[in-house]
Amino acid sequence: MDDLADRAAAARASFDPPADPPDEERALSLLREGFGPTVSLYVECRTGGDPVRFDAAEFERLEAAMNEWLELYAACYGVELDADYTVRTAAEALLDTHDLTDVARVLTGVPE
């Protein structure tokens, strides 16, 4: 989990918004490289073998990382977003749809 949170912070620090949004390829890459693995970790910890319990700080860090990835995703479409979604909601949507792009679109409303 620390790796995922560190990667989200590094992605945020190095992110330059596209000059001419949307940059759909970059948005999809952010979903695949960051958002998806973050949500998948939560799903795996809840459904694989012995359930893993996150302490409050770990859970907060996991959700913050997930929301950072969604903010970067939205920025690829020229949308400024203050993401505050729960990883549980994202995980449930992913299990229902099996599609990262659909989950991101449902949560953020981006693209419209």
Residue 56 binned pLDDT confidence (cut-offs 50, 70, 90): very high
How many other C-beta atoms are found inside a 10 Å radius of the C-beta of residue 75?
23
pLDDT tens, position by position, 78-89: 999 999 999 999
Give which of 70, 80, 63, 98 is closest to 21, Cα–Cα. Answer: 80
Average of pLDDT values for 42-71?
90
The percent of residues above 70 in pLDDT, for the chain, comes to 100
Which residue shows structure tokens 């912070």? Answer: 9
Look up the pTM and report it: 0.94
Helix (H) or strand (E) holding 25: helix 24-30
pLDDT (0 to 100) of residue 50: 76
Q: What is the Cα–Cα distance from 9 to 94, expressed in whole angstroms?
A: 23
